[in-house]
């Protein structure tokens, strides 16, 4: 059941209508049932896994809190919860990847190993709800949150349908608290929710899905026949496709939640207008970045154990973050690349901070140059992320570096198509960035807002594609 489908529209109208007439207890019960119906619409067998995660971590949280005077027992319960979650996640998401690579390694050293594979469907959103549920148990262990007293409320925290498939990853200190208390709906929150749903729908069905055609056209060709400019256009198109697709989902998730009185965390904040890798990860998939920081980077030692250990922790965190995205070497290399860029930036940061410009024009030019450079650093990573194999990524990178033509009409035509699709997105985001306000549209006069709304509606209605899955559903 996709957000960008009529099926979901009818589903949400029914859910919202019931929500408005029920009391707090009835709202939570209805939302839990609706969330299971929503998730079960993908494959009803997935419900068993999410229920296993829910029951496991609910009782582990209770047992940890009840064992407050027994540090060893608390640690054992935490270890049981985390290891069980990771085993389930690894079995469904990574077993075939590691089994296949072990077979190839054995063959390389002369051993014959019969391949063992599990023919299972990857449960939708398993990485998101597993990380969210794990964070709750860890927070209870750290005494940062009380254990949930209601299994129903905790189950809704894990399965809340607006965000459960592709985030944002929520913390118990934010979402579970809102579930436990009564929520009051107000008109301003409803207006904001409608705008976020509308804006997110535009990002997805107009920007992302139209760019997907360009990306597929380029990445489905033999990379040996592509010019460097054509490959570069394909990477540019994918950079805006994945942004429109993923941030569009996050906007819609936040908007749907706002309509019901919930406030979800912001997941994207102009990530292509940053000047360095650290800023990028503070503005791209913010909920995952914060999760990796709080539950992986800091427990590894963070920056508390010397420079070498800091660089190693950065690299390991991003390497595992890459593997979180998918069971393929392209994601591993992408994660390693992100770790290396963070390490290089940390190494160069003292020198970069010494560069100062008093002249406003020079200062703005320096900022623009860094933004453009960082965008291309990001795009290089997206090349590995999008490629179906390391061979394709390497071949396309070789084309970018060495296969340039004096004039490349197909690449020019593709560049024009990309601009036609993305210009309105960029204009709005520039205003949002300058004013540091994601809801800047509400401060514009009616004579500006009305044409904008009409243009967005026109683009969605006439040029939006049929319902297509979101990219991050596969993670």
Check residue 219 and give its pLDDT.
94
Give the whole-angstrom CA distance, residue 380 versus residue 332: 14
Nearest Cα neighbor of 217 from 226, 208, 207 is: 226
Q: pLDDT: is 44 or 141 the higher one?
A: 141
Lowest mean pLDDT among 249-263, 276-290, 355-369: 355-369
Give the whole-angstrom CA distance, residue 304 versus residue 448: 50
Q: What percent of the chain has pLDDT over 90?
A: 73
Nearest Cα neighbor of 475 from 325, 253, 342 is: 325
Instruction: Give yes or no for a contact between 437 and 195, defined as CB atoms under 8 angstroms apart.
Output: no
Sign of CA dihedral 30, 33, 39, 43: negative
Give the whole-angstrom CA distance, residue 95 versus residue 117: 8
User: Of how many residues is the chain composed?
Assistant: 475
Backbone angles phi, psi at 466, to 5 degrees: -65, 160
Nearest Cα neighbor of 157 from 174, 140, 138, 139 is: 174
- Return the H-helix or E-strand segment holding 106: helix 95-108
Q: If pLDDT is split at 50, 70 and 90, which confidence band does 327 have?
A: confident
Check residue 303 and give its pLDDT.
86
CB neighbours of residue 379 within 10 Å = 17
* Catalytically annotated residue among 270, 285, 325, 345: 325
Q: How far is CA 85 from the centre of its chain?
A: 20
Measured between its terminal Cα atoms, the distance across the chain in Å is: 17
Lowest mean pLDDT among 10-19, 118-127, 418-427: 118-127
Check residue 325 and give its pLDDT.
86
CB neighbours of residue 366 within 10 Å = 15
Check residue 102 and give its pLDDT.
54
Give the whole-angstrom CA distance, residue 384 versus residue 388: 8
User: pLDDT digits over 200-240, tens only?
Assistant: 999 999 999 999 999 999 999 988 888 999 999 999 999 99
- Clarify whether 325 is annotated catalytic: yes
Cis peptide, bond prior to residue 168, ω within 30 of zero: yes
Nearest Cα neighbor of 157 from 22, 59, 293, 28 is: 28
Q: pLDDT: is 305 or 122 the higher one?
A: 305
Quote the Cα angle for 323-385-167, to 5°: 65
338 burial via Cβ count (<10 Å: 0-12, 13-18, 19+): buried
User: pLDDT digits over 378-412, tens only?
Assistant: 999 999 999 999 999 999 999 999 988 877 888 99
Query: Between the CA of residue 399 and those of 262, 376, 388, what are the distances in Å?
Result: 48, 16, 16
Is 0.85 topped by the overall pTM? yes
User: pLDDT digits over 357-367, tens only?
Assistant: 888 888 899 99
User: pLDDT digits over 64-86, tens only?
Assistant: 999 988 999 999 999 999 999 99
Check residue 77 and give its pLDDT.
96
User: pLDDT digits over 437-475, tens only?
Assistant: 999 998 899 999 999 999 999 999 888 766 677 777 766
Give the whole-angstrom CA distance, residue 100 versus residue 64: 38
């Amino acid at each position: 059941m996709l957000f960008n489908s009529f099926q979901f529209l009818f589903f949400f109208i029914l859910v919202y209508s019931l929500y408005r007439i029920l009391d707090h207890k009835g709202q939570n019960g209805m939302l839990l049932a609706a969330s299971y119906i929503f998730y079960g619409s993908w494959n009803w067998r997935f419900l068993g896994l999410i229920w296993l995660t829910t029951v496991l971590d609910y009782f582990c949280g209770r047992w940890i809190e009840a064992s407050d005077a027994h540090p060893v027992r608390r640690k054992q319960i935490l270890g049981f919860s985390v290891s069980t979650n990771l085993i389930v996640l690894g079995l469904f998401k990574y077993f075939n990847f590691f089994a296949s690579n072990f077979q190839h390694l054995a063959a390389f050293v002369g051993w014959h190993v019969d391949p063992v594979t599990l023919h299972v469907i990857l449960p939708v959103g398993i990485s998101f709800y597993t990380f969210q549920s794990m964070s709750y148990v860890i927070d209870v262990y750290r005494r940062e949150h009380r254990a949930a007293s209601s299994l129903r409320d905790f189950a809704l925290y894990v399965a809340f349908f607006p965000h459960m498939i592709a985030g944002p990853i929520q913390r118990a200190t934010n979402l579970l608290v809102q579930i436990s208390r009564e929520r009051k709906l107000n008109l301003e929150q409803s207006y904001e929710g409608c705008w976020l749903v509308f804006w997110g729908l535009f990002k997805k069905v107009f920007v992302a899905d139209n760019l997907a055609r360009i990306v597929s056209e380029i990445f489905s060709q033999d990379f040996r026949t592509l010019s460097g400019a054509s490959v570069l256009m394909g990477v540019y198109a994918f950079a805006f496709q994945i942004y429109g697709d993923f941030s569009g989902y996050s906007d819609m998730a936040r908007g749907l939640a706002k309509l019901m009185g919930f406030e979800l965390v912001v997941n994207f904040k102009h990530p292509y207008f940053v000047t360095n890798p650290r800023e990028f990860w503070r503005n791209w998939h913010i909920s995952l970045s914060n999760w990796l920081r709080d539950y992986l980077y800091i427990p590894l030692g963070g920056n508390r154990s010397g420079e070498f250990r800091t660089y190693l922790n950065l690299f390991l965190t991003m390497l595992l973050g890459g593997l979180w995205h998918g069971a393929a070497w392209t994601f591993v290399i992408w994660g390693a690349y992100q770790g290396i860029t963070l390490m290089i930036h940390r190494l160069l940061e003292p020198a970069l901070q010494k560069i100062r410009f008093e002249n406003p024009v020079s200062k703005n030019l320096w900022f623009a140059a860094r933004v453009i450079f960082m965008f291309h650093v990001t795009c290089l990573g997206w090349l590995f992320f999008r490629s179906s194999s390391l061979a394709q990524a390497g071949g396309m990178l070789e084309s970018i570096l060495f296969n340039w033509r004096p004039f490349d009409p197909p690449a020019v035509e593709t560049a024009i198509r990309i601009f036609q699709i993305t210009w309105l997105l960029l204009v709005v985001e520039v205003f949002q960035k300058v004013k540091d306000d994601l809801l800047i549209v509400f401060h514009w006069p009616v004579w500006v807002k009305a044409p904008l709304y009409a243009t967005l509606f026109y683009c969605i209605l006439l040029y939006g594609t049929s319902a297509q899955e979101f990219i991050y559903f596969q993670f």
